[in-house]
Amino acid sequence: MDTSRWRVETFSSIDSTNTWVEEQARAGAAEGLVARTDFQTAGRGRLDRVWEAPPETALLCSVLLRPAVAADSLQLVVAAVALALRTAVAKLTMRTPDLKWPNDLLFGEKKVAGILAEVVASAAGPAIVVGFGVNCLSVDPTFTQATSLAAATGVDVAPTTLLQEVLLELDVLRPLLDRPAGLVVLRSLYLESLVTVGQGLQVTTPAGVVEGVGVGVDESGRLVVDVNGQHQVFGVGDVVHVRAQEQL
């Protein structure tokens, strides 16, 4: 299959692949630039959190996209990458991770991968940099809510093998981000895969903590939660799944 859409730059060590690709995007780099590293000295999560992985254990990668999708539908770009990661992991390990809104891949309740999407303004128009970290061979044991593909599935997947598979999946999903009809398809694929839908949830946002039941995502990929019979929509937030009986 043709993967020429992607140009992969490899670093043995770097501060953050997202930071590097963002600099390239600001300087006008075209869609398809990919940075991958064996180690990050300043890996970032959302909201100024850190992302840490021991050297040569994880896929640490960022891709530069310039899709036609509006910046307020950033979550659908995250969805495309999450779905690509999920399918790639399933093909290589024969186990399918759950997607948790907004940006996690889980085995059980343990996080095996996280995604960070950021919008960058540039003279060539807005770019979206999507970074993902996947714990392939091991994970820092201080993260008690984390796991690796090796621990969860028993399969050792080399980060470079996983990247190749992810890019093949993105070749299929990326075109959906350019047309309204594609976004509709993407949203329904996302809905089918999100374990967050139908679950009791606790959603933490800068405005506070809300409890309810996940009912879906809207046309922009934002989470819709039934809170005491009223639908509330969340564009950002951290979600904890709460068992139904704990809810009642």
Q: Under the rule (CB under 6 A), what is the footprint of ligand BT5?
A: 16-18, 40, 43-47, 49-53, 60-62, 103, 111, 114-116, 131-133, 135, 139, 143, 146
Distances (CA, A) of 177 to 150, 185, 247: 32, 10, 36
Asked if 16 contacts 44 with a C-beta cutoff of 8 angstroms, the reply is: yes
Q: What token pair was written down for 32? A: 């398809």
| DSSP structure string for 159-227 | HHHHHHHHHHHHHHHGGGGGSHHHHHHHHHHHHHHBTTTTSEEEEEETTEEEEEEEEEE-TTS-EEEEE
Report, in Å, the least distance between residue 51 CB and ligand BT5.
4
Nearer to ligand BT5, 71 or 143 (CB): 143
CA proximity to 63, closest of 167, 204, 147: 167
Report, in Å, the least distance between residue 107 CB and ligand BT5.
11
Report, in Å, the least distance between residue 15 CB and ligand BT5.
8
Q: Over the Cα atoms of the chain, what is R_g?
A: 17
Question: DSSP code of 248?
Answer: -
Question: Could you give the CA distance from residue 151 to residue 153 in angstroms, rounded to a whole number?
Answer: 6
Nearer to ligand BT5, 18 or 182 (CB): 18
Nearer to ligand BT5, 68 or 158 (CB): 158
Residue identified by tokens 């869609």 is 31
Nearer to ligand BT5, 17 or 87 (CB): 17
Nearer to ligand BT5, 43 or 214 (CB): 43
Run of H or E including 22: helix 17-26
Nearer to ligand BT5, 124 or 137 (CB): 137
Report, in Å, the least distance between residue 42 CB and ligand BT5.
7
CB-nearest residue to ligand BT5:
114
Report, in Å, the least distance between residue 133 CB and ligand BT5.
3
CA proximity to 21, closest of 120, 159, 135: 120
